[in-house]
Amino acid sequence: MGDELTRKSASELAALVAGGEVAAVEVAQAHLDRIEAVDSRVRAFLNVDADGALEAARTVDKKRAAGERHGPLAGVPLAMKDVVVTKDVVTTAGSKILEGWRPPYDATISARIKAAGIVMLGKTNMDEFAMGSSTENSAYGPTHNPWDLSRVPGGSGGGSAAAVAGYEAPLAIGTDTGGSIRQPAAVTGTIGHKPTYGGVSRYGLIALASSLDQAGPCTRTVLDAALLHEVIGGHDRCDSTSINRPVPPVVTAAREGAAAGSLAGVRVGVVRELGGEGYQPGVLAAFESSVETLRGLGADIVEVSCPHFEYALAAYYLILPSECSSNLARFDAVRYGLRVGDDGSRALEDVMALTREAGFGPEVKRRIMIGTYALSAGYYDAYYGQAQKVRTLIARDFGAAFEKADVLVSPTSPFVAFGLGERMDDPMAMYVNDLCTLPASLAGTPAISVPAGLSEGLPVGLQIMAPAMADDRCYRVAATFEAAVERISPPAAVLT
Ligand code: GLN
C-alpha cells in the first residue's frame, strides 16, 4: 500500500484523503518510508521533519473528522526547497554560512502551504544560495538523479526535482531565478513552472537576485502544478513587487487543456534562436517531435525570431552577480548562522571576513566578486547599466513574438542530465545549461517545462512560455500536450 500511495499524483491523494479512504497520516508515513528507503542514494533532502509532517497530517485528519472544510491539496506531502524560510525548521540555502539556522518566521508561501493543510516533509538540497545548474554547488554534497544515480538532477533546485521524480514527494517547491525550477524539471522528467514575476510572494525567500527570483511548483502532473500554484500565488502586502491581481485561472486551464485534447486555434511560436548549434542532437530531435505533436493537436505552428535572446546569458551573468553581491552582504557574522574567529582578539571586520571566507563556497565568492566589480564606480554604466538595457530589448522581443503567437516553445535545456563532476571545473559549461530559460527570467514572463520524451534514455523537457500574467496559457497547452504524449518515469531498477 505504501509504495502504491507514493506513485499517486497529488490530486489523487487529495481525493483519497478528502473521501476518507486513506488517512493523511498514512500518506505522510508512506512518503517518509520511501525517503528512508531511497534518500541515502538520491540525497534530495537536507533535512527531513518527520515529526512535523506527522503532526501536520494528524491535524488534517482531525479537521476532516470534525467535518471542517478541506483545501484541494489537504493531506498531500510536499518537499520544500531549502531557500524558503520555514519557522523553527532549519533553513540553510545549501550554505555552510547558515548551517543550523532556525528561522523565527515563515515565508508567505510556507504559511500558505501550512494553511492549506499541505504536509511539509522536509527541506531539499540545492546549489548554494541557488547558484548553479547541477546541485553540485551545495555545501552538503550533491543530489543524484533518480533516472541514473551517476548523473546530476539539474539545479539549482535539484533536490526538489529529484524528490518528485523519485516518488519521495508528489509536490515540491522550487525557486527560479534563471531556470532553477525548469531545468531540473527537464532533466528529471518532471513538471516545473516559473510563475510571472510578482505572481508568487518573495517574502521569506532567501534572496539571490531580487528582480528575477520567483518560487513555483514542481510536480509529476500539470494539474498538480496548477493546484499548488493556486495555493501559493496571489497578492502579498509583505512583498512590494507582488502583483495585486487575482491568480490567473491555472487550475481551470489545466483541467480544460487535458479534457480538450485539441489545440485548434492556438498559435505556437517556435523561437528560432533557441535551438541549433550547441544543442544535443537528441534534444533537438525530441523537441522537433514535440512540435509535430502540437501540430497534430491542431496548433498553428509559426516561427518567430527573438534576436536579442542571444545576449541573455551575458546580461544575466552581470545582473545576477550584481544583485547577489548586494543581497549576500547581509551574511555578516552578526545576524545569522556562522561566526568564525570571534574570540575577543579580532576587530569586527576581521570576524566578518573570516566568516565569509569559511562560510561561502567558490561559486558564491566568484559571483560576489563579479557583482562587486560590475557595480563599482566607473564600471556601473558599462556593465550593469548595459545589461539592464539588453534586458529591455529581450522583453521587447517577447512583446513582438507574442503578437504572432499565443505561446512560445523551445527545449527547456540544450542537454540531458550530465554526469556528476563533469562540468564543475568550467563555470561557462555550467552556465550554458540555462540558455533557454534565461529570456523568460529576464522578461519576468511565465514558463513551464513538461516532459517531452527521451534522448539517450534520459528525459528531455519542452518549455512553453506565455506573456506576463497569462500563466494559465502555459498550463493549458502543457496539459493538452501531456495528455497526448506517453508518460515517462525513471527506470524502476535504479531505486529498488
Ligand atoms: N543556473 C542559474 C544560475 O546559476 C539559475 C539559478 C536559479 O535559477 N536559481 O544562476
Span 353-404, pLDDT tens digits:
999 999 999 999 999 999 999 999 888 889 999 999 999 999 999 999 999 9
Residue 64 CA: distances (Å) to CA of 76, 118, 144: 14, 13, 37
Tell which wins on pLDDT, 2 or 169. Answer: 169
Catalytic residue, chosen from 81, 95, 134, 455, is 81
pLDDT at 496: 81
The yes-or-no answer on residue 156 being catalytic is yes
Ligand 1 contact, 214 CB (< 6 A): no
Mean pLDDT of 153-180: 98
pLDDT digits (tens, 9 = 90+) for 185-221: 999 999 999 999 999 999 999 999 999 999 999 999 9
- Where are the domains positioned within the chain? 2-263+412-421+436-495
pLDDT at 347: 96
Mean pLDDT of 158-172: 98
Whole-structure pTM value: 0.98
Output the residue whose Cα is nearest ligand 1's atom 5: 178
26-54 burial code (b ≥16 CB/10 A, e <16): bbbbbbbebbebbbeebbbbbbbbeebbb
Can you tell me the distance from the alpha carbon of 195 to that of 183, in angstroms, rounded to the nearest whole number?
A: 14
Lowest mean pLDDT segment, chosen from 173-182, 236-245, 320-329, 371-380:
371-380
Residue-averaged pLDDT of the chain: 97
Catalytic residue, chosen from 133, 138, 156, 413, is 156
Q: How remote is the C-alpha of 261 from its chain's centroid?
A: 27
- State the closest ligand 1 atom to the C-alpha of 179, by its place in the atom list counted from 1: 8
Ligand 1 contact, 136 CB (< 6 A): no
Ligand 1 contact, 207 CB (< 6 A): no
pLDDT at 1: 59
The yes-or-no answer on residue 81 being catalytic is yes
Ligand 1 contact, 179 CB (< 6 A): yes
Can you tell me the distance from the alpha carbon of 491 to that of 482, in angstroms, rounded to the nearest whole number?
A: 19
The yes-or-no answer on residue 180 being catalytic is yes
Residue for cell digits 553540485?
136
Output the residue whose Cα is nearest ligand 1's atom 10: 131
Is the CATH code 3.30.1490.190 the one for domain 2-263+412-421+436-495? no
pLDDT band at residue 335 under the 50/70/90 scheme:
confident
- State the closest ligand 1 atom to the C-alpha of 209, by its place in the atom list counted from 1: 9
Ligand 1 contact, 320 CB (< 6 A): yes
pLDDT digits (tens, 9 = 90+) for 37-92: 999 999 999 999 999 999 999 999 999 999 998 899 999 999 999 999 999 999 99
Q: How remote is the C-alpha of 324 from its chain's centroid?
A: 18
- pLDDT above 80 (res 2): no
Residue for cell digits 556601473?
380
Ligand 1 contact, 430 CB (< 6 A): no
